[in-house]
Each structure stands twice: as structure tokens, then as C-alpha cells.
Amino acid sequence: MGKRGAARAAASRGPNAGARDGTAGSGMLPVGQDVIQPRILHAFQRALFIADAETARHSARVGAAAAALGRSMGLPEGEVRQLRAAGILHDLGKLVVPQDILDKPGRLTAEEWIEIRRHPAVGADILLAVSADLASLADAVRSHHERWDGSGYPDGRVGDQIPLAGRILAVADVFDAVTCTRSYRSHTLGELEARALLVAEAGSHFDASVVKAYLAVRANAPTGQRWVRTGSRPSSWEPTLVEATR
């Protein structure tokens, strides 16, 4: 059994997979509150790590960043916890995407992009298969590649049609993707360049109010905080957001 087969098997073991890590128990929210139970979250996170440790680490950073952003925007703590879970699981659907496509350096073919673009909807479908109570969490995962101007995927939603959680994830996901080295792209943006990219894309790719809030969070982040990443890039590298985030 390969890594991805093992990952699917780990995910299929579902709720009991996290029983040994101490996340289940007193901190578990009751079913029906639309927040995923920690033991289920851990099982999916474990499956992602088995399949692709790099993607799992990226997802953990996105979850931390999304939660920090939601808290700074004054969202209730339950919604902040949901944002963290949505960030951790936003790439859950990549479990069904061939690894050679995920890791391919350079541009993808049209057929490969079709495969990549399946992952938000697949991730949402997996969560809904766990419980219909996870509808809002599933919608956040489904919508993290939607764009404010309607040119995103999988549904082409526009503006406020995109749930706030999806708009928050979009900003956190892109920022982490462009400031961290990925297997398909070795170059990274520095902190100031990444902030400038968010500003340039506010109102087209991103909700401008979410960008404004995120920049404020970044300005106040402790230097050593785990999801604070910086880097550099050659001056000749000019990525599009589509190339930077898969």
C-alpha cells in the first residue's frame, strides 16, 4: 500500500483514530454545534500527513493564521475554532489528486488543472459524508479558492456569496503559499512583497476588508510565531496567484 492508500485508510478509520493523542475528551464540543470533533479532525490531519507532510504542515499554518485573523475580526470563539479546523482541512480533497500532479514543477496542463480544481468540492463532500452538521465547515473548505470577483472555483461565487470563512481562508492560504517553499515552486516572496501582493489583489481575488484585517494581524505578530514566514525571490520571478497556489 502506497502513502496515499495508507492516508485514505487512516481517514477511513474516522473518529477513533485520534484516541491516543489526547485531543479527544474534555475539550470535545457536542455533536450538532457545527464544529468538528477533535478526534475526527486529528484522523483527517493524520491522513494528510501520511499522504504529503508538506501539505499537512502548510494546512496547519493556514489553520493557525485563519484562527488568528478571525479572532482579530471579533468573531465568536466557536467560529474561531471552526476557522482553525477549516484551515487544517482546506486541502483535504487533495487526497484524491495524484501526487505527481501536486508535486509537478512549473505549469500544469489543462487536464492537470481539472484534477487540481476538484479538491475543494471533494474535501467538502468528505466532510458532509461524516455529518450533515458540518455543513458550514464543508462550505468553508469548498469555497477557499473562490475569488471576490467571481473568477474562482469550483462554483464561481461572487463577493458576499462566498462565506466569510472561505474569504478568510483564501487570504491565509495564499499568503502562506507564496511565503513558503513548496515542492512545485522553490522561490518565495518576502514578508513585504507578500503583503503588497495581497493589497494588489484586494477587491479582485480577495475581500478587501479581510486583507486589511490580515495585514493588521501580520503587523502585530510576534517575530517567532510559527506561521510567520519570510523569504526572498529572484527579481525575474513574477508568479500569478494561480501558479502560486494549487
Which residues are identified as catalytic? 94
CA atoms within 13 A on the CB side of 219: 7
What are the C-alpha distances in Å from 178 to residues 28, 193, 240? 34, 9, 10
Q: Is 54:182 a contact under the CB 8 Å cutoff?
A: yes
Query: What burial letters (b/e) apply to 25-50, b meaning 16+ CB within 10 Å?
Result: eeeeeeeeebbbbbbbbbbbbbbbbb
CA 10 → CA 4, 51, 90, 119, distances in Å? 10, 10, 18, 18
Alpha-carbon distance of 3 to 98, in angstroms, equals 11
- How far apart CA 123 and CA 134 sit, in angstroms, is 12
